[in-house]
Amino acid sequence: MDARAVELWHRMLDWLSLNYPECLQYRHEPVDQAQIAAAEAMIGLELPAAFATTYLLNSHHGGIPICCYPEYQWLSLAECVESWQWSRDNATPRENDLSENGPVWHKLVAEERVWIEGPIKLGINSELRIPFMSSDGGGYLYLDFDPAPGGVKGQVISIDPEGCTWLVLAPSFEQWLETFVTHLEQGHIQIGEYGLEHIEQAPANKQPMLMPEYLRNIRIESYQAAPIDPAALQALAFDQEIAVTGRMRSIMGNGSDIVIFDFDIDGMSERQKIGAYAAQTYGFGTIQCGNYAHLWLVRYNQQIPNIEYYTKDSVVQWFVVSYTLTQ
């Protein structure tokens, strides 16, 4: 075991036992070294020693406490692997492709519609990020093995898709853990109505966000929509795929893991209703709806529960396979 992690966890458990003992009632199932090795084999990455120690050490105390961190719940080792698998399976080559999405990221960062601090790549899904904590709002803390230039493999990051924030919290899990324990001991964290919470600090003069180096020289090119022949589009057979370009509009609603968009396609006589898996929105909702995008569509021919309610008097004609923002 990692000696420094053992010391930090004993300090944390001592503090929790004295100040917040009810937190220790809710724990994940203990794990052993064989389960750690199986997780590493599945993910294809060696877990940091301090991270593995966190699970092994807590197994001697009944399992890792679930609610021992403000606003987040600690995932079990099995949940880490399951969440990693979901992220791997939903990652697309285009998500972190700077040749396609770089100009869009540059624009969103410049306008502070996306907030980024530290050497972290934008995008969410990746097989090189291991989630280990989750929040009710869909945010995660990750071990990041694919940092932006200047970052460190294994750094701890947070991604909040709803808040559109990407933050580097610490260059390693051990340093992140040490900072957290120190904040506990120094009184920067208190017991609130719903558990641990950070004490609000007096607002400082916030410095303007710096454009990440890897986005600095990327610029948006002028947008030109590809001409679409409405008759040819309507003549496509069911399940036939096509690429189109247009501006995303308002989200009509969520239901059965579906998001319905109004989508303006240049060259089309009227808006087309388009259905997309919520997983394909990457959590940027209103941001993406204000941008142009290239969409890979397939002619829609399946019934989805509750689809009529969200489209009201319209029919979903196309189903999004994937898309890339362009402006």
Shared-domain flag, residues 190 and 238? no
Q: Which residue in the block uniquely carries the two structure tokens 């869009």?
A: 104
Burial 219-249 (b: 16+ CB within 10 A, else e): eeeeeebeebeeeebeeeeeeeeeebbbbbe
CA distances 73 to 124, 134, 253, Å, are: 19, 5, 28
Residue 277: phi and psi, rounded to 5, are: -55, 135
pLDDT value of residue 276 = 52
Q: What is the tally of structural domains in the chain?
A: 2
154 in the same domain as 20: yes
Residues 246-259: tens digit of each pLDDT: 666 555 444 334 45
What is the extent of the structural domain holding 70? 3-198
List of residues 6+ apart from 232 with CB closer than 8 A: none
pLDDT in tens, 195-244: 999 887 655 566 667 888 888 887 655 445 555 565 666 677 766 766 66
198, 221, 245 - which closes a domain: 198
Instruction: Report yes or no on 271 lying in a domain.
Output: yes
In a domain, 216, yes or no: no
- Beta-carbon contacts of 253 under 8 Å, excluding residues fewer than 6 positions away, are 259, 260, 309, 310
Distance between terminal CA atoms of the chain? 49
Q: Are residues 9 and 111 in the same domain?
A: yes
Looking at the structure, tell me whether residues 186 and 237 fall in a common domain. Answer: no
Query: What pLDDT digit, counting tens, does each position of 46-94 carry?
Result: 999 999 999 999 888 788 999 999 999 999 999 999 999 988 887 766 5
Residue where the block lists tokens 């709803």: 162
Residues 9-25: tens digit of each pLDDT:
999 999 999 999 999 99
Give me the mean pLDDT over the 107-128 stretch: 84
Residues 143 and 267 in one domain: no
Asked whether residue 23 is assigned to any structural domain, the reply reads yes
In degrees and rounded to multiples of 5, residue 205 shows phi and psi of -70, 105
Q: Return left, alpha or beta for 218; rule: phi > 0 is left, psi -120 to 50 is alpha, else beta.
A: beta
Q: List the structure tokens of 163.
A: 């808040």
> What CATH number does the domain containing 240 carry?
2.40.50.140
Residues 289 and 149 in one domain: no
Residue 194 in any domain: the answer is yes
Say yes or no: 124 and 259 in one domain.
no
One domain for residues 64 and 151? yes
Q: Is 51 helix (H, G, I), strand (E, B) or coil?
A: helix
Q: Within this chain, do residues 28 and 164 fall inside the same structural domain, yes or no?
A: yes
Beta bridge partners of 176: none
Yes or no: say if 196 and 15 are a contact pair by the CB < 8 Å rule. no
Contacts of 105 (CB under 8 A, 6+ apart): 98, 114, 122, 215, 218
Asked if the structure places residue 301 within a domain, the reply is yes
CA 60/CA 83 separation, integer angstroms = 25
Phi then psi dihedrals of residue 142, to 5 deg: -130, 155
Side chain identity at residue 296, one-letter code? W
**How many CB atoms within 10 Å of residue 56?**
21
pLDDT of 201 reads 64
Kindly state whether residues 168 and 294 are assigned to the same domain.
Answer: no
User: What are the pLDDT digits (tens) for 144-202?
Assistant: 999 988 899 999 999 987 778 899 999 999 999 999 999 999 999 999 888 999 887 65
Query: In the numeric block, which tokens belong to residue 134?
Result: 């989750």
Give yes or no: residues 246 and 189 share one domain: no
Tell me the C-alpha to C-alpha distance, in Å, between residue 243 and each of 221, 247, 268, 294: 20, 14, 14, 7
The answer to whether position 224 is within a domain reads no
Q: 63 in a domain, yes or no?
A: yes
User: Within this chain, do residues 53 and 113 fall inside the same structural domain, yes or no?
Assistant: yes
Last residue of a domain, one of 198, 221, 253: 198
Tell which residue, 70, 84, 79, 81, has the closest CA to residue 23: 70
- Residue 211 domain flag: no
One-letter amino acid of 118: G
